[in-house]
Amino acid sequence: MVLAPPATDKIHPAFSNLFVQAEIIEQRRAILCTRRPRSESEKNPWMFHLMAVYGAKIEQISYETDRMQFIGRGNTVSNPQAMGSPADLFGTLSGSQGSVLDPIVAIRSRITLDPEQSVTIDMVFGIGETRDTALTLVEKYQDQRIADRVFDLAWTQSQVLLRQINATEANAQFYCHIASSVIYGNASLRADSSVITENHRGNPVYGATLYPAIYQLYC
């Protein structure tokens, strides 16, 4: 969890993380996060994460907001401690909350499915200006019908937007791919380091021409 401008997090991520705090709302099976204000005038948004299960009974649910607890000592993100061994099917997350060194949001729900049984799981992330707004959204998206309607409305809106800019779905995905690679950088598209070290010139053309063009295309 960051809840801060990308530049702020990039400059000093460890320091930025110290101001994030998390709150577990067990009765609504959700986690709330915000940043402690550093001044009286600073107003920070509230983020929420919830997991809703439809079509099966949740036998056990647990939460984690500490990345160190989730990964574990000596483990990696590809093999975190939280996943446990195949024999540890009944493990639970630590339930830590409040201020942690490296905040995350993770919810584990354990369910049992009969043969041929199907289940729907909604993982919802959202943000609001205040805690009450975030809680209202948490309550709203407990309803499966409302959650399903979001996808219907999003599809309709995307089709209208594509028609307005006279683009296909393939065009839109291509635009997003280009924009993300320009804004955030894509290491896989960089030249070999030996080639980069031979470059002793600047790139004013990219700064003056390419960025505005991509921005306009992306919008």
Domains of the chain, by residue range, sit at 6-143, 165-218
Residue 42: phi and psi, rounded to 5, are: -75, 130
Rg (CA), the chain: 22
Q: Which residue has the higher pLDDT, 202 or 31?
A: 31
Q: What is the pLDDT of residue 202?
A: 67
Residues 6+ positions from 100 with CB-CB distance below 8 Å: 20, 22, 65, 66, 67, 68
**Residue whose pair of structure tokens reads 């056990």 in the numeric block:** 60
Q: What is the pLDDT of residue 127?
A: 94
Characterize the bridge pairing of strands 20-25 and 46-54.
unpaired
pLDDT digits (tens, 9 = 90+) for 197-211: 887 776 555 444 444
Characterize the bridge pairing of strands 103-110 and 46-54.
unpaired
Q: What is the pLDDT of residue 215?
A: 41
Q: What are 47's strand-pairing partners?
A: 33, 127
Alpha-helix residue ranges (DSSP H) falling in 33-168: 67-71, 131-140, 144-164
Q: What is the pLDDT of residue 114?
A: 92
165 burial type by CB count under 10 A (0-12 exposed, 13-18 middle, 19+ buried): exposed
Neighbours of 30 (CB within 10 A): 26
> What is the per-residue DSSP string for 85-114?
-TT-TT-------EE-SSEEEEEEEE----
DSSP state of 155: H
pLDDT digits (tens, 9 = 90+) for 121-177: 999 999 999 999 999 999 999 999 998 999 899 999 999 999 998 999 899 889 888
pLDDT digits (tens, 9 = 90+) for 69-126: 999 888 888 888 888 765 566 578 888 899 888 899 999 999 999 999 999 999 999 9
CB half-sphere exposure, 79, CA atoms < 13 A: 5
Cα separation of 137 and 48, whole Å? 8
The fraction of the chain above a pLDDT of 90, given in percent, is 43
Cα separation of 138 and 50, whole Å? 7
